[in-house]
Amino acid sequence: MRSYTLLILLLCSITSFSQNCDNTLSGTVTDLHDGSLLIGATLIVAGIEQAVDTDLNGKFTITNLCDDTYNIQVSHPYCLTKGFSVKVSGNTTKNIKLEHHLEELNQITVVGKAFNNKSKTILENRISKEELERFSSGTLGDALNSLSGVSSLNTGNTVVKPLINGLHSSRVVIINNGVRMEDQEWGSEHAPNVDVNSEGNLTLIKGAGALQYSGDAVGGVIVAEASKIPVKDSLYGKTLLTGASNGRGASLTSKLTKSYQNGWYVTLQGTLKRFGDFETPDYILSNTGVFERNASLQVGLNRFDYGIEAYYSIFKNEIGILRASHLGGAQDQIRAINSNQPLVINDFTYDIIAPKQDVTHHLARIKGFKNFDGFGKLSLQYDFQRNNRLEFDIRRGADKNNASLDLKLDTHTLMLDLVSHLTDEVNLKSGLMARHQNNFANPNTGVRRLIPDYDKYDLGIYASADYRLNDKLLLEGGARFDYNKMNVFKFYRTSFWESRNYDQLFPEIIVEELGNQVLTNPQLNFYNASSTIGATYAFNDKYKVFFNYSIASRAPNSSELFSEGLHHSASRIELGDLQFKSEIGHKIALTFQRNNEIFNFSVSPFVNTINNFIVIEPTEIQQTVRGNFQVWEYRQTNAQLLGVDFDASYSFAKNFRFNNQVSLVKGYDRTSDEPLISMPPINTKNEIVYHNPNFKNLRLALESEYLFRQNEYPNNNFEVFIPETETMEIIDLSTPPNAYHLLNFNSNIDFKATKKSTLTIGFKITNIFNTSYRNYLNRLRYYADDLGRNFSLNLKLKY
């Protein structure tokens, strides 16, 4: 009996000693929220002294494991350390997800480098939080203008609209903290209602490749995001105070964040900005002051597999419009355009009088997400926006203090999005969107309404996927469909209705004929399909190429369809066309990139062919009871834009770096075979930067900016009759101004204010030589020069 027992024990021992302990456990460590790779995560296997780190692709391999269950601890900077139990049977694969948060106080953002991209096959440009702080007294358009391929369409110096590769307004979609901005963006002098001080970073996508945001971004997408908040007990904030000589004003912004280890957090932010009349090198730009007040509140809970966030912001901006842009008669128009100075120059003041804008924008959002193992991250968001735009004209009598244009736009949006990591190689994004919009044009302004009352309904569905074929090649494709319906009530002047032949084309939409007016009820439907396909190929660690082909479809906006009257803050009469069809843009974009600490560059050529392109151009001068105004009329044509953006950076000595940007875009009307209006001229920026992190983070930068003269432009000149002289004279609205060169300087240095706070002092000079110039893309260039020299001092306290 003892012999049998001994034999059994011996056999068991032999089996134990022969157990397979040559197994490997491998996988990838990613961010739970967005699937981005976590490099340098440490995995420690309990019970055995073995620890490994993830490589540059977020991958790990643990060797010499037996068929057993192991407890593994995974840690990563700014992540909560987590423990996992893994059963190993043979060679085993296990993908691990951590809740990753960037440290708010030490965020590093690489400008122009593709990481956690919204589109995997378009090179994205980014502006970090530190860069944004240099524009704390400026606008979103000012900040974006620092990127290659981005210009600005200005109305004076305070209304700045981003223009991406020659396109702007409704063709550029702005996403503000997850919400698509709906703020009457169709107007060329309607600036985005976004406070740059409330954002953590800006991402620019030059094209319609990011279908989760929209399918109608013919020009591109701008994504403004708040800074990520760490999951830990902390209280931190910052205050920025900027004073400037030109405009004799200041900007004050402050932000405070409280976060907790259990995932709760709250952020409160506010901005106050006040400037008086700005100045050129030779004279004051009368009535160009600005008074801006903004505030935002963010409250949320962020747990490992679920979370919810509520966000509210109010943006209120009062902007003066150059007094000299509102003129009396045709003779004044000619005098103003031919004069070297504005016809109206008053003493400096902080008062803002008519003509002016007063815009208030409310944004409220609530969003929740839930992670489901094997399914993905499901997000549900509802947001509401109310945009109230008041435009004041120069009026006399009892209504002189009343707005001439009073628009209220309410927008409700519901979105459902799913992000699924199907395999290590395949990621899928899909979603649904429903939106209702109501525009109310106050009829009691005493002035004919430029934009009618309407209800607009949008439904959208999209899906996009990326597939990593191997370590070098990634493929991406997607499609989106949008349905738009507009239910409009509009009064047309009978004379205009008949002059457009609408009485023959649309007799069925007439509701009632009232004397010299016709009440109509247009009900328009647009069906828009968009798609994208692209690839990214990495030759090695330094060289990479991006290719993307996208189709974007954009329904005409309310201004393009229904404008019929004086746009007061634009100082012009605008006329739309009820017959317009959807624009369809085909864009091919290619980028070749080199990434290296010493020398890096990217070159990005593109071709954008747009069918049914809607363009607005000056056609005549018209006398009204409120003065003499240019008439700008929309028309539809076929267009093609092509160009190239170039960025380069070279570290030629210790702490010294040379940066270069060149942007070129050409736009052509293929129907009339002539250049498109308002295309940016070639421009180049060169900058020498000295940055010494070891000496109080000192940074000194000297920038040279040169804009060439635009030599390709349409001839929009026309003759007008001058009653005073009874002669016909030419009004030149076409000829661009001369080329110009500006030199700018900016600097900053850090000081330790207390043990836990840092004071940063920044000093900046723009237009050092006080050069007189006019920008072709400034709508007020007909009447005045651009800004002269400006000194600004920036104080930032981080605590």
Task: For residues 770 and 788, give the distance between their C-alpha atoms in angstroms, rounded to a whole number.
Answer: 5
Residue 8's pLDDT is what?
Answer: 45
The pLDDT value given to residue 626: 66
Residue 14 has pLDDT above 60, yes or no: no
Predicted confidence (pLDDT) at residue 425 exceeds the cutoff of 60: yes
pLDDT band at 733, cuts 50/70/90? confident
Average pLDDT over residues 217-236: 90
Distant-in-sequence contacts of 68-74, Cβ < 8 A, 24+ apart: 70/25, 70/45, 70/46, 71/45, 71/46, 71/47, 72/43, 72/44, 72/45, 72/46, 73/43, 73/44, 73/46, 74/29, 74/41, 74/42, 74/43, 74/98
Give Cβ neighbours of residue 537 (< 8 Å, ≥ 6 apart). Answer: 472, 473, 474, 544, 545
Distances (CA, A) of 401 to 100, 153, 314, 321, 441: 53, 29, 24, 16, 18
Top mean pLDDT of 565-574, 585-594, 720-729 is at 585-594
Tokens of 456: 């607009």
Mean pLDDT of the chain: 89
Domains and CATH numbers, the chain: 2-104 (2.60.40.1120), 106-224 (2.170.130.10), 225-798 (2.40.170.20)
Confidence tier at 130 by pLDDT (50, 70, 90): confident
Residue type, 641: L
12: phi then psi, degrees, rounded to nearest 5: -65, -40
- What's the CA gap between 491 and 494, in Å, rounded? 9
Instruction: Report, as an integer, the average pLDDT of 147-174.
Output: 90
Tell me the CA distances in angstroms from 750 to 429, 485, 656, one per residue in order. 42, 54, 18
Report the pLDDT value the prediction gives residue 34, as an integer from 0 to 100: 63
**CA torsion 616→444→351→244, rounded to 10°?**
-50
**pTM as predicted:** 0.85
> How long is the chain?
799
Side-chain half-sphere of 60: how many Cα atoms within 13 Å? 26
Q: Tell me the pLDDT tens digit for each residue of 245-281.
A: 999 999 999 999 999 999 999 999 999 999 999 999 9
Band of residue 588 on the pLDDT scale cut at 50, 70, 90 = very high
Reply yes or no on whether the pLDDT at 182 is more than 50.
yes
Residues 182, 523: Cα–Cα separation, whole Å: 21
Q: So what's the pLDDT on residue 264?
A: 95
Cβ-in-10-Å burial (0-12, 13-18, 19+) of 10 comes to exposed
* pLDDT for 9: 43
Token digits for 625? 């009871």
Which of 342, 326, 242, 245 shows the shortest CA–CA distance to 292?
242
pLDDT, residue 55, reads 84
Closest among 665, 683, 674, 644 to 734, alpha carbons compared: 674
What per-residue confidence (pLDDT) applies to 502?
A: 94
pLDDT at 100: 65
What pLDDT is recorded for position 19? Answer: 61
Give alpha helix (H) positions in 252-376: 330-338
- Evaluate if residue 408 carries a pLDDT over 90: yes
> What distance in Å separates the CA atoms of residue 550 and residue 464, rounded to the nearest whole number?
12
Lowest mean pLDDT segment, chosen from 149-153, 336-340, 474-478, 725-729: 725-729
Closest CA to 345 of 321, 323, 319: 323
The continuous run of DSSP H or E covering 535 comes out as: strand 523-538
pLDDT at 129: 83
- Summarize pLDDT for 591-633 with one digit per residue, the tens: 999 999 899 999 999 999 999 999 999 888 777 766 677 889 9
Strand partners, 453: 489
If one counts every other C-beta atom within 10 angstroms of the C-beta of residue 57, the result is 12
How confident is the model at residue 103, as a pLDDT?
39
